[in-house]
Structure 1
């Protein structure tokens, strides 16, 4: 898989798409298999980015809190101690966990693993720092 269109086709087949634009697709990942508890969800934004106007990349991002509702030093410390994949960024009013990958020669597992790791880490951060399930 080396092109944006191929990745989007795969995502449409494998995930619950909640928004589909030419250079961005959003999916909803569910957490929790226990039928007695409510499932939590995480909205994942997968976007095509062009590096230096020549290289196609894919960015995986998900918000987990508003930056004005949490202690940023605590969040940064937690991300530094517990997160293997992804980095923290402020986008608008939100804190997001994100990770980027080059599309050239991308194997599907090189997308799936970071997607799941970023989603799971953001879900835990959201629980820990907001106690809610907003994203």
Structure 2
């Protein structure tokens, strides 16, 4: 992992949504739940938990939400043109966002230290040693 210089820019695939991450994320997590597998079309989805005021967005996004297993609302903001997810949020936790960091211009900062919903993990994926592991949502 390189020493990142902030702010780091990010954008959706088509470039209609742009943003700046002003400071390091609180942490990176890999979620192995079936919903995140659908989202990422892969074995897991990566999230950077950030303070809401540490990221500045440009462009008009659309929203979508669902009720999570916890009973909480899981909201998502995405580009209406290319469909790229930009971040997720829980309306009951307005001080944090779950940024989708693969949209960053410098992805070398991504290093998940937490793996959640490993009860739904793909059998072929091996979780690295030294990370926190949770069978479900912590």
TM-score using structure 2 length: 0.26
- Bigger relative contact order (CA 8 A; separation at least 6): 2
Q: Higher helix share goes to which structure?
A: 1
